[in-house]
Amino acid sequence: QSARDLAFALNTVSDVPRGRHRTFLGWRSWLPRWASLLIAALVAVAVGLLGGAILKPAHDPVYRRLTFERGTIYSARFTPDGRSVVYGASWNGQPLQLYSTLPDSLLARPLELQPAHLLALSRENELAIALHGVPGSGIDVVEGTLARAPLQGGAPRELLQDVRWADWSPNHELAVVHHENGRDDIEYPLGKILYETNGWISNIRFSPKGDEIAFMDHPARWDNAGFVAVTDLAGRHRTLTDKWATEDGLAWSPDGDEIWFTAGERGGSAGALWAVTLSGHLRKVLSAPGGLRIQDIAADGRILTTSDTVRLAMEFTGKTQNDIKDLSWYDWTIAKDLSADGQWVLFEEGGEPVGANGAIAIRKVDGSPPVRLGEGTAGSLSPDGKWAVAIPRGAPSHLTLLSIGAGQSREVPLPGIGHLQSGAHFLPDGRRIVFNASEPGRPSRSFVVDESGGKPQPVTPEGVYAGMASPDGKYLAGISPEHRIILFPLNGGAPRSVPGADPKYEVAQWSSDSKALYVYRPDQVPLPLQRLDVATGTMKPIRTLVPADRAGVVSIAPVVTNPQASEFAYSYYQATSILYVISGLK
């Protein structure tokens, strides 16, 4: 075993019960010899009567490492016979590839499929995969097209667009998480909605009997906090756990009595393996020193899991390509805005040291220590640089304006709003704010509200977000349901599409003359930033962003810049993974 394997094994057994054979040691220092012998005899009788159940030591788990390359493992499943493992990985900066281990071997062979993300593997050895997707907010893929393909080889057959998760039922039908009209829903069979949310859904898994589907329910988009829940095939849904600060990875126990999942209580990576019954009884199975992500459970009880070292880092680059500074605070730093002069970065930090509600801070690009402004999710800076708009965590229906210098924060009430999502930006007039939210019982959309209060006014159709305002105050740039860039007039009127833009582009900023957008694709590493003319669709390269450490970089986003595109701040998600099979857990 390597030093890392040994450290991982030693640190993960801290919560596993050990033997109790030391119970009576130490009494000999004060008991008479005859009493010690009498007690020993009684103990021997008890052991004989109970078959050793009380004093029998528990077995420690056994770890078998399956992967040795450097990179990121996205997902993995046991084959139906339990002798092999199929997994998707990006090794050494190469594109995502599916692999299958040879039976009872550490050797793996690549599958002859185009770049695809593994969603599920059926009992009949048929793959459910996502094609043409892009990285999501973590080690996942969004905007993909669901397809099915034989494990033994053959061309995939495409089924449905914008599928984010899927699983096979025991009778060989697919349940999916489908993103449509701004919502995530669970469909089974395809087209029949069992559950839907304005947040997002992950890790759907059928019970062994096929009568229920377990999943992770995340109330806020792009936030991996959430609950473990279950729905039956009639759509009756119930939540089984309290809210976790972070959760990722879920599988049923072989007998279907428990759902095993990986989650964390204080943010950062999911550092423990838990089990919950359908009645809500919770127990901890295993702790880990870093990221732990359960992938699958075999019929004999072996656990397939990844040990993930993850971070969301933030870097800044100035007018020259090689002028790169790491401005990360802890291990989950998200760039949100850049001051007009390019000297300050507004960001949010989700690392464990800042607490469960996260921190909003501002930092000078020379690397000076961050200035903490408040809690929640960061939006943008005001045009005069004196305020930052924040979205509080929890359920309050208000925005918070945080003072950059001396002064007190103040609230902007949002009457009629049911739930806030990430995303809030000042408009160029400095008085109005555009934000993403939903009215009670309705899909999410974008609204505009005056900082002094009043009823928020919708500015996009339901299911569509827009937030970046042009400097002349005429348009908001958003993304259509087909993932294309679209412009919404702020004074009313029909929206218009921007020609020429790839559906997978994101918006970083408007140009200072309001004639172009600076756009990028998060899945490209290194990342070319382009100037997109909104009238003609002409693209012109501006800068290529290259993280200082490219190993394990999954995506680069968000990217923020000023209207002159002279300075840039960006976050990048980095994950290095090792795949293990763990035996002996109960």
What mean pLDDT value characterizes the chain?
A: 88
Q: According to the model, what pLDDT value does residue 27 have? A: 30
Is 50 exceeded by the pLDDT of residue 115?
A: yes
The model's pLDDT over 83-104, given as tens digits with 9 standing for 90+, comes to 999 999 999 888 899 999 998 8
At 534, the pLDDT band (50, 70, 90 cuts) reads very high
Q: According to the model, what pLDDT value does residue 106 have? A: 85
Q: According to the model, what pLDDT value does residue 267 have? A: 63
The model's pLDDT over 433-492, given as tens digits with 9 standing for 90+, comes to 999 999 998 999 999 999 998 999 999 999 899 999 999 999 999 988 888 899 999 988
Is 50 exceeded by the pLDDT of residue 33?
A: no
For the chain, percent of residues with pLDDT exceeding 70: 89
CA distances from 179 to 113, 143, 163, 185 (A): 25, 8, 6, 6
**Pairwise pLDDT comparison (307 vs 104), residue with the higher score:** 307
Over residues 494-512, the mean pLDDT reads 90
C-alpha span between 253 and 238 (Å, rounded):
19
Over residues 41-52, the mean pLDDT reads 40
Q: According to the model, what pLDDT value does residue 395 have? A: 61
Is 60 exceeded by the pLDDT of residue 504?
A: yes
Is 90 exceeded by the pLDDT of residue 50?
A: no
> In whole angstroms, how large is the CA radius of gyration of the chain?
26
Over residues 275-304, the mean pLDDT reads 94
The model's pLDDT over 186-210, given as tens digits with 9 standing for 90+, comes to 999 999 999 999 999 999 999 999 9
Nearest to 419 by CA among 183, 179, 180: 183
C-alpha span between 71 and 44 (Å, rounded):
53
At 540, the pLDDT band (50, 70, 90 cuts) reads very high
Is 70 exceeded by the pLDDT of residue 47?
A: no
Over residues 339-358, the mean pLDDT reads 91
Instruction: Give all strands (DSSP E) within 92-154, no chain letters.
Output: 97-101, 108-110, 116-121, 126-131, 134-135, 141-142, 144-150
- Helix, strand, or coil here: 352? helix
Annotated domain spans of the chain: 19-50, 70-198, 314-572
Q: According to the model, what pLDDT value does residue 421 have? A: 87
Highest-confidence segment of 53-57, 91-95, 307-311: 307-311
Sign of dihedral through CA atoms 496, 476, 437, 119? positive
**Pairwise pLDDT comparison (37 vs 518), residue with the higher score:** 518
Over residues 106-117, the mean pLDDT reads 90
CATH architecture of 70-198: 6 Propeller (2.120)
For the chain, percent of residues with pLDDT exceeding 90: 70
Is 80 exceeded by the pLDDT of residue 404?
A: yes
Q: Which residue has the tokens 């095993």?
A: 260
C-alpha span between 210 and 256 (Å, rounded):
10
Lowest mean pLDDT among 320-329, 465-474, 515-524: 320-329
Query: Which residues 6+ apart lie within 8 Å of 528 measured at CB?
Result: 520, 541, 543, 544, 545
Q: According to the model, what pLDDT value does residue 269 have? A: 65
CATH topology match: 70-198 vs 314-572: yes
C-alpha span between 546 and 374 (Å, rounded):
30
Lowest mean pLDDT among 157-161, 278-282, 285-289: 285-289
Q: According to the model, what pLDDT value does residue 16 have? A: 36
Over residues 545-567, the mean pLDDT reads 92
What CATH number should be reported for the domain whose range is 314-572?
2.120.10.30
